[in-house]
Structures are given as C-alpha cells and as structure tokens.
Amino acid sequence: MSESLQLVCPHCQAVNRVPKSKPALAAKCGKCKKELFGHPPAELTDATFQKAISRSDIPVVVDFWAPWCGPCRQMAPEYAKAAKTVEPHARLLKLNTQDYPSTASRFRITGIPVIMMFKNGELVAQEAGAMRANHIEHWVKSRL
C-alpha cells in the first residue's frame, strides 16, 4: 500500500504526492504553492479533464453545467458548499458544457446539471438534476 496520495492540483494541474501521514487539507502544490483543497470547485477544460479524473488517487466528481442553465446556476453555490464537506475524501470540479462540448458529448450528456463520479479515470456513478448541498454530500459520501 502506498504511503502517499497522488493529487492533481486544481490550479496548475501538477501531479502532487501527499504523504498519508500529513493532513491532506493542509497540503500545498509543489509547483504553484497553492493549497490543494479549500477553494471553490475549479473549472476544467477539454485539455485538463482527463488528467484531473485519471491521475488523482481520490474520487473526482464533476458538475457538468452551462451559464444559460437556471438550475445549474442555482446549484452552483450548493455544489461549492458540498465541496467543503467532502474534500479531501473526494475532489469536486466543474466543466462548462457550452465552452467544452466535446467532453460533454464524450459522456453523452443530454441534460444539465449532471454530476459524475470518476475513480481511476472510470465513470462509476452519475446523477442528473439540481441538488442541494446535503444531497450532493450524501451522494458523494455513499459512493466513497
């Protein structure tokens, strides 16, 4: 069993090794020096998506959304609130489907908002519809 966790920095996409003996919430990126946790969910792009979901040792949850979507805008603060509770056990990120339609089409997304959980780069769970923070937290924690 590894003595460290591999985590992708949500700011610069550098892959970091964080010793399991140290609190993950206090971990900082070795490249950009920013905290690996404690920020609102970072935005992914087509270019950063695959690395984010496949190079982290913790599950990654992605909120697929668009700025024109009312339910997506309503869910955004709830998603950010949930991130504070589930991190560092899971990483919550976002992908704007309007700006990055190729990643959205790769997962055959036909309606938003939808959240998807990835483990080791593989889709393991998904749920559609706007959710409150407590629902998101329960959904994530029940799949860890």
Query: pTM for the whole thing?
Result: 0.94
Q: Which two tokens stand for residue 70?
A: 């009312």
State the CATH number of the domain containing residue 86. 3.40.30.10
* Cβ atoms within 10 Å of 58's Cβ, excluding its own: 18
Q: How many domains does the chain have?
A: 1
29 catalytic, yes or no? no
For residue 20, is it within any domain?
no
For residue 14, is it within any domain?
no
Using pLDDT thresholds of 50, 70 and 90, give the confidence band for residue 65.
very high
Mean pLDDT over residues 112-116, rounded?
A: 98
69 catalytic, yes or no? yes
pLDDT over threshold 90, residue 2? no
Catalytic-role residue among 12, 29, 32, 72: 72
Query: Which are the contacts of 139, defined by CB distance < 8 A and separation ≥ 6?
Result: 115, 125, 127, 131
- Edge-to-edge strands, sheet with 122-128: 42-44, 91-96, 60-65, 114-119, 122-128
Domain that holds residue 111: 38-142
* Cβ atoms within 10 Å of 67's Cβ, excluding its own: 11
Catalytic-role residue among 12, 29, 32, 69: 69
Instruction: Give the Cα separation of 112 and 106 in Å (integer).
Output: 14
Mean pLDDT over residues 56-63, rounded?
A: 97
